[in-house]
Amino acid sequence: MADCTYSVPDLIASGDQLYGQRICNQEFIDWAWHTHGFNGDYWQDGWGYDDVCNIRKPLARCLSAIWLLNYSAEDYNNEDWNTDALHWGPRYVREQFKYYDDLRASCGDGDAKARTSGCQQSRQWNEWRCTSGYDETQRECRSWFFLFAWICHLWAEIKRFVCTIWGWVSVVGCSIWYGTFGGGQNVTLFLSFFYPLDGTGNADVISRAGTLIHEARHIGNRPHNAQFPAGSIFGAGKDGADSAWGYEGAWMYNTLYLWWFYAAGTRTNIAMRQAAKQRANLLLTNAFATSPGLTVS
């Protein structure tokens, strides 16, 4: 932490004053630490491990985002997948982060707010490509003469079996690599996750919550798959965008949560809900290669 340089913004405007009072509870801290897989080695030396309630330090500012995620729905105990992002979002973050069980903090270079390292591309190939290829072959089989269609269906099963085995091998191989030479499968939150460095970081608690949803979606097999569009504040033509809203990637999950928080978030204030609306519209305009054509209003 001694190598990092940052300044702390207005604690009231950022929402840290509001949420910081709520996280200073040992039961909540212990629960959040365990369920989100914090790696204690990376939260020492000024990151807040020994000063958890200090809302000027990174750990408290991360815990504030976790509190917001978990208690902003009116009936926050309802986390059913058939509800909306305000309800299932915190459950999704917990389950994905615990899958890696390695949440870190680091200075970074001031560009990215966070980085997810791991085998999400391999798992995506296994879980999506095999199913997609199988469904496509089955549709083709329906056009075959019924006396020979069984051959086609058998071939579809063989293809899916081989694809699944190969996907499993690739995931295991990837996991071994990250477990030995690749630095581990983890989520690393950089300094700009906690502070608005040069106006580009997470200025408020709701933006940080959105970033946690974003990184959780990466763990959930959705790497970015496109370049940012012309005029994007994230750098036109640079990698890191989602191709479209229908890809259901990290930017979509991020935006969807902000949208629902603006629409129905509780235990917050008007300023934080308005910040969610502004951030959601910014992402809709800048983070998708093909514009979703949506506006939060």
Please tell me the distance from the alpha carbon of residue 193 to that of residue 205, in angstroms, as a whole number.
Answer: 10
What is residue 122's predicted lDDT score, i.e. its pLDDT? 56
DSSP 191-255: HHHHS-GGG-S--SHHHHHHHHHHHHHHHTT----EEPPTT-TTTTT-EEEBS-GGG--HHHHHH
Give the other-Cβ count within 10 Å of 107's Cβ: 14
What is residue 106's predicted lDDT score, i.e. its pLDDT? 95
What is residue 112's predicted lDDT score, i.e. its pLDDT? 87
What is residue 147's predicted lDDT score, i.e. its pLDDT? 79
What is residue 291's predicted lDDT score, i.e. its pLDDT? 97
Q: Which two tokens stand for residue 125?
A: 């190939």
What is residue 126's predicted lDDT score, i.e. its pLDDT? 55
What is residue 261's predicted lDDT score, i.e. its pLDDT? 98
Domain definitions of the chain by residue range = 16-117+185-286, 120-180
What is residue 176's predicted lDDT score, i.e. its pLDDT? 79
Task: Give the strand order in the sheet containing 186-190.
Answer: 103-106, 186-190, 114-117
In single-letter form, the type of residue at position 99 comes to: Y
* Stated pTM of the model: 0.85
What is residue 257's predicted lDDT score, i.e. its pLDDT? 98
CA distances from 285 to 140, 234, 244, 250, 256 (A): 39, 11, 12, 15, 14
What is residue 3's predicted lDDT score, i.e. its pLDDT? 78
Does residue 129 contact residue 167 with C-beta atoms inside 8 Å? Answer: yes
pLDDT in tens, the chain (297 residues): 667 888 898 999 999 999 999 999 999 999 999 999 999 999 999 999 999 999 999 999 999 999 999 999 999 999 999 999 999 999 999 999 998 899 999 998 877 899 998 776 555 555 556 776 777 788 888 888 887 888 888 888 888 888 878 777 777 777 777 767 767 789 999 999 999 876 667 789 999 999 999 999 999 888 899 999 999 999 999 999 999 999 999 999 999 999 999 999 999 999 999 999 999 999 999 999 999 999 999
What is residue 142's predicted lDDT score, i.e. its pLDDT? 85
pLDDT digits (tens, 9 = 90+) for 14-32: 999 999 999 999 999 999 9
127 contacts: CB under 8 Å, gap ≥ 6? 167, 221
